[in-house]
Amino acid sequence: MQKEEEFEYLVKRMLELMGENPSREGLLKTPKRVFKAYEFMTQGYHQDPKQVLNEALFDSDNSQMVLIRDIEFYSMCEHHLLPIIGRAHVAYIPDGKVVGLSKIPRMVDMYARRLQIQEQLTEQIADVINDVIAPKGVGVVIQARHMCMEMRGVQKTHSNTTTSSLKGLFLKSNTRKEFFDIINAPQAARF
């Protein structure tokens, strides 16, 4: 409880420094709400992605690309504490093991729910899949909007940032091309 009280005090103090009255009706519960929001948005610090992945590894003879595309995520810029809103595309080529499909989006969320930069987020996802699943290759592409660029600074609202991390067979031109062709293909009708 001490952590929550200290956090709420700091939010109240921040409001005062901004020239606000934290005792006015609309702000009375704001420190508590901000604490709960940040507790949720940074829960990735308290999760172990290797443990989650290890609990869902299965033997498989599949040697073809497994791709989960358009994984929506929200993160927070570590420089300004403003939102990053994006989509991740994650693929791997199995080498005797596959992972439960829901675990890949969970990996994205775990790392996204930390203060981040997009470049680091991309590498973290690729590294944990490479380390735990030990596939023949991993490809991760993230496309995101950064509110630190849109709401302040250069104020460019139609700018997207794309980062990639390719490992193993994804470094070969034919696998790289297949991966990028799939993620850039028009989306089929939803089921």
Buried b (16+ CB within 10 A) or exposed e, 31-63: beebbeeeeebeebeeeebeebbeebbeeeeee
39 is catalytic: no
Catalytic choice (8, 148, 150, 187): 148
User: 89, 116, 146, 178: which is the annotated catalytic residue?
Assistant: 146
Per annotation, catalytic residue among 5, 46, 55, 79? 79
Does the active-site annotation cover 118?
A: yes
Catalytic, out of 8, 89, 116, 118: 118
How does strand 97-99 pair with strand 83-93? unpaired
Reported for 119-127, long-range contacts at CB under 8 A and 24+ positions apart, including other chains, are 119/163, 121/75, 121/163, 122/163, 122/164, 122/165, 123/165, 125/88, 125/90, 125/165, 126/165, 126/166, 126/167, 127/165
Q: Out of 20, 80, 120, 143, which one is annotated catalytic?
A: 80
The catalytic position among 77, 123, 143, 150 is 77
Q: Is 146 a catalytic residue?
A: yes
Active site residue ranges: 77-80, 118, 146, 148
